[in-house]
Amino acid sequence: MARKLMKGNEAIAAAAINAGCRYFFGYPITPQNEIPEYMARELPKIGGAYVQAESEVAAINMIYGAAGSGARVLTSSSSPGISLMQEGISYIAGAELPCVLVNIMRGGPGLGGVQPSQADYFQATRGGGHGDYRVLVLAPANLQEAVELTQLAFDLADRYRNPVMILADGMIGQLMEPVEILPYQPAPDLPPKDWATTGTMHSGGRQRVINSLYLDPHDLERHVRALFAKYAAAERREARHEFIHCADAEVVIVAYGTVSRIARSAVEKCRRLGLRVGLLRPVTLYPFPAAAFEQVVPTARAFLVVEMSMGQMLDDVKIAVAGRRPIAFYGRTGGIVPTPEEIVKQVQELLKGRAP
């Protein structure tokens, strides 16, 4: 496919279909409505199914059922809608079912506003629902990456039999950029779906049960420990990040998604001012790329975490740096996006020894 100018939400939807998604269940909420709109128009053309559920609670349980058949399935929503899905997401993780979730974040708490936000980081990376479980979380910074990460998400979901979330703010969902959606090839090492309840005679006579209920506490503990062994494998294999001008950086800015684009501009401005500043951009938020910090801690004087929140990724940076260097924070919230000039000012203050 040639490069095409697309809106972010539509690019994510097109990438999902390209990766073999044939079922979408969801409920409309801004600023992600172009995803269900695109799916409603395009899925019937290729034999797929689109269902607008009566609520987000219903939609995530439809995802549970479709994922249990082994199909590639998608839902999307925005902040409060994802909150309503949390019980179902916990069930899906407990039942070890693959699916892809898209959260195009808006401001909060409560109804908040429809402007872009990054305040759902805790919800996404800490599970969000009840019980011991994790969701793999990918955070694109541009639309081409959103396409690639959406397709990767389906592979990761199948590989780990787990929900995978695309976490992007409203700006990523609404902006337009040229993208190229290349022919998709699934990863060659994906396991067979011999657990799926297909309702056919091809199960080899073996009963297939999908469940997350364990009445014996010892059985439940064994199950949870098996889940966390799987998450540990994902932490070893799947952490992703990007370095920008970090080799000699005195100050390393840490930012993801839209804010990382702004931070990249701030880094270039700092370099023109003679300030040795770099950017460490997490691409996976879970697993968080903690090992990447080992490459920059020896040379950095300080870190500056920039987010569209009151400081949520900040906690993961503190864990990764482990007190070895000072960490400053600059955050905007309420849908206000930080500017490169604001970030440059924070860097200058930090280098003067006055933490923001």
DSSP 41-70: HHGGGGT-EEEE-SSHHHHHHHHHHHHHTT
Longest dimension (CA), the chain: 71
pLDDT in tens, 305-350: 999 999 999 999 999 999 999 999 999 999 999 999 999 999 999 9
Return the DSSP state at 141.
Answer: S
Instruction: Find the helix or strand (DSSP H, E) in which 102 lies.
Output: strand 99-107
Q: How far is CA 320 from CA 233, 251, 303, in A?
A: 18, 16, 11
Give the pLDDT score at 2: 82
Give the pLDDT score at 208: 87
Residue 191 CB neighbours (<10 A):
10
* Per-residue pLDDT at 200 exceeds 70: no
pLDDT band at 207 (very low <50, low <70, confident <90, very high): confident
**Pick from 105, 153, 155, 162: nearest CA to 135:** 162
What DSSP line would sit under 177-204, residue for residue? EEE--PPP---TTPPP-TT----SSTTT
pLDDT band at 355 (very low <50, low <70, confident <90, very high): low
Pairing state of beta strands 113-116 and 99-107? Answer: antiparallel
Spatial separation of the C-alpha atoms in residues 135 and 101, rounded to whole Å: 10
* Contact present, 5 and 31 (Cβ < 8 Å): no
Burial (0-12, 13-18, 19+ Cβ within 10 Å), 331: buried
Tell me what the mean pLDDT of segment 108-120 comes to. 95
Spatial separation of the C-alpha atoms in residues 145 and 143, rounded to whole Å: 5
Which percentage of the chain shows pLDDT scores above 70?
Answer: 97
* Contact present, 119 and 309 (Cβ < 8 Å): yes
Tell me what the mean pLDDT of segment 85-105 comes to. 98
Spatial separation of the C-alpha atoms in residues 76 and 105, rounded to whole Å: 11
Among 1-10, 79-88, 158-167, the least confident range: 1-10
Half-sphere exposure of 186 (CA within 13 A, CB side): 17
**Pick from 245, 344, 258: nearest CA to 296:** 245
Phi and psi dihedrals of 26, rounded to 5?
-170, -175
Tell me what the mean pLDDT of segment 171-190 comes to. 96
pLDDT in tens, 283-310: 999 999 999 999 999 999 999 999 999 9
What DSSP line would sit under 312-334, residue for residue? SHHHHHHHHHTTSS-EEEEE--T
Spatial separation of the C-alpha atoms in residues 287 and 67, rounded to whole Å: 23
